[in-house]
Amino acid sequence: MSINGKSILVIDDDAGMLRALNMVLSGEGAVVTSAAYAGEAMEHLTGWSERFDVIITDLRMPIVGGQAILSAVAVAFPHVPVIVITAFGNPEVKAQCMQQGAAAFLEKPLDTPQLLQAIESAFAPHEPESSRGARHRRAVRKRHLSGPQSDTKTSDGPKAGLVHGTGFLEY
């Protein structure tokens, strides 16, 4: 399955991450709408002039975070999968997001194949919870990278993220 032609709403308060996600996803043929904060995302969702096939949201954002977006989408648009991304993940938050209905919980830095797999998995037919849980745990297991990883900015600019073609998104 491909994401070509899929409509994706990406929500992240980091402009660099928004650009990187837009570049990678649109490079795969997706139609990407970006929102820099939850209010902007809610405007896209409230108008619903465009139908989104999947929503990708950062977890930690000012004022309204990704869990609130996840909850709102689960109530208003229960058939739209939501993928939560974060640089500040922990098992408790991951469990909360998955219980709220997240299709996937990915930790930054994201790698392109992992992100694309999560999106494609969100469209897979639903299977019993026991087999889906085992497959999901294998699919989103964090890759071990050398050195400490962070989503914080340094004086030299942002740290590693997504890059099309290299497997990691950088911004």
DSSP string of 109-164, one letter each residue: SPBHHHHHHHHHHHTSPP--HHHHHHHHHHHHPPPP-SS-----EETTEE---B-T
Measured CA to CA, the distance from residue 90 to residue 29 in angstroms comes to 32
Note the pLDDT tens digit of each residue in 117-157. Answer: 999 999 886 544 433 443 333 333 333 333 333 333 333 33
User: Regarding the domain delimited by 7-124+146-158, which CATH topology (the fold level of the hierarchy) does it fall under?
Assistant: Rossmann fold (3.40.50)
**What is the pTM for the complete model shown?**
0.72
- Beta bridge mates, 169: 162
Question: Phi/psi of residue 109, each to 5°?
Answer: -70, 140
Give yes or no for residue 83 having a pLDDT over 60. yes
Task: Answer whether 8's CB lies under 8 Å from 52's CB.
Answer: yes
pLDDT, one tens digit per residue, over 13-33 is: 899 999 999 999 999 999 999
What are the residue ranges spanned by the domains of the chain?
Answer: 7-124+146-158
Asked if the model's pLDDT at residue 38 lies above 70, the reply is: yes
